[in-house]
Structure 1
């Protein structure tokens, strides 16, 4: 009996060590997404069930981007992306990704700038990471949950989510209102790849979602020399506190509402335009954190629609 008990203890320790090692592998893979990159964006529609559908032109573009870890806690890693343009002289705050471990709640996109909080079962979150993707103004975009897999020297993560139209089509398309995404993130010898299998859907209340077209997407992040990002790093140092305050306000909004619905425009301006303007004013006038949060709250509340 003593030998059996000892064997059980040893097996328990081995399982615990393996789980801990897997957890650290996951964290290291996520943190490896940060860095200095040349990014290429390639999208092509591949199929439509509609016989007379006109396939849209392929989208191809590239950019320089820096991805900065702005929060590194055991169960949460936050990475902020910045676009670097005109050499290194123009910076645009880009998307943000929060990675949370065994998160019991997820914000699911419905349609027309509306998201709903869903509570997940413990068995559906065990050992898994949620990627929460946010817009340039830190408003929600989409969230999805999946497992990191590390095998044969390769680390990869797959998930599924609904999202709003991509930025490249948001102002050009009105024939669909939901992008159903299969997200495939994996590390490469030169950086990482964000591969997508997307379905462009029409969602109408009380009806089954209708497929308009399928699309393949490849976003390749290739590491490049950090020396050309000095201005971007200085820019972030000067602007980081404002966006930390913005994240705090958004966190309060997202945890206080079961449904989030945003107005497309207020005073004929998009949300990011008002927040970007407030950011510039904050840096210029050296606002305090309290002043930042007061102004950010005022702006965000103007776009929130009660549901």
Structure 2
């Protein structure tokens, strides 16, 4: 016969396990709720600058809008992957742009930390440091790395959010017009809201040079709202993905091999005067061999 002590021990052991499973389920629901069709507003403004140059010109305030389709492409217990697609132009014949991708990995210990000048440092974290956490890995349009960080999803007072600070390359809106800094320290908050979700950012524009202390050139506020609309409004983007999903699965397979080497990574900005995404967006890159070859040509170490 089982004694009352036995039941107390079972309750003591199983209680935290059940709570952890319930918390993880909440996390997964929050992450997957970012999928679907959204009216997006991208807002960025330089808030403070610390340059001693009297001729310093801050970046112009930028506000852009568009439709974005967030497609669930991996749905596993410890990994969720969401591909973002922009749908722009004439609504009757929209143009689809493969946008960023976000992967979420549960209790992940392998991270690539950006270190300026198109270089990422591989870091292996102790398992106890990431217990209960999710790593968000953010990728470029060609599925090369951007930035990543590990933190816990928080569910409190009716709110669900994830916050992290990570070093990152300059965003496209900046590196095409600026060369006076080489790293963005991104303070990211992704919060699930009644209207959809919010990407709230507090960023620092940083000059990083080997052997020197970082110099903060300016601060920036980003406030991107994703307002949920009927999925039918993003039908063109969803259909584009169905036609192109197999190709991009091959691209991810090659990148997974590169990341799986678990060592520091440096990528060339251009090969034969051409950036990687222009190769991969070309219809000539459809088979694994050609995809492997062109991606490997950008890997410098």
When the two structures are superposed, what TM-score results if normalisation uses the length of structure 1? Answer: 0.93
C-alpha contact (below 8 Å) 1:145/1:160 kept by paired residues: no
Match of 2:280 in 1: 275
Distance in 2, Cα, partners of 1:263 & 1:50: 29
2:60 aligns with one of 50, 57, 63:
57
Displacement of 1:281 in angstroms is 3.5
Match of 1:41 in 2: 42
Displacement of 1:90 in angstroms is 1.0
Distance in 2, Cα, partners of 1:205 & 1:45: 26
Match of 2:85 in 1: 82
Match of 1:30 in 2: 31
Displacement of 1:178 in angstroms is 0.6
Distance in 2, Cα, partners of 1:258 & 1:76: 22
Match of 2:109 in 1: 104
Q: Which has the higher helix share?
A: 1
Match of 2:220 in 1: 215
Q: Is there any run of 5+ residues in structure 2 with no aligned partner, and where?
A: none
Match runs of 1:133-144 below 5 Å: 133-144=138-149
When the two structures are superposed, what TM-score results if normalisation uses the length of structure 2? Answer: 0.95
Give SS of 2:47's match: strand
Displacement of 1:9 in angstroms is 1.6
Match of 1:21 in 2: 22
RMSD: 1.4
2:75 aligns with one of 65, 72, 77:
72
Match runs of 1:132-281 below 5 Å: 132-277=137-282, 280-281=283-284
Distance in 2, Cα, partners of 1:262 & 1:69: 28
Displacement of 1:89 in angstroms is 2.2
User: Alpha-carbon deviations, 1:278-300, whole Å to 9, x = none?
Assistant: xx236xxxx5xxxx210111111
C-alpha contact (below 8 Å) 1:196/1:217 kept by paired residues: yes
User: Alpha-carbon deviations, 1:55-94, whole Å to 9, x = none?
Assistant: 2211111111000000101000000000101225211111
Distance in 1, Cα, partners of 2:64 & 2:235: 23
2:294 aligns with one of 291, 294, 299:
299
C-alpha contact (below 8 Å) 2:67/2:234 kept by paired residues: no
Q: Is there any run of 5+ residues in structure 1 with no aligned partner, and where?
A: none
Distance in 1, Cα, partners of 2:72 & 2:172: 23
Q: Which moved more, 1:189-198 or 1:6-15?
A: 6-15
Displacement of 1:5 in angstroms is 4.0
User: Alpha-carbon deviations, 1:44-63, whole Å to 9, x = none?
Assistant: 11112335443221111111
C-alpha contact (below 8 Å) 2:111/2:122 kept by paired residues: yes
Displacement of 1:257 in angstroms is 4.7
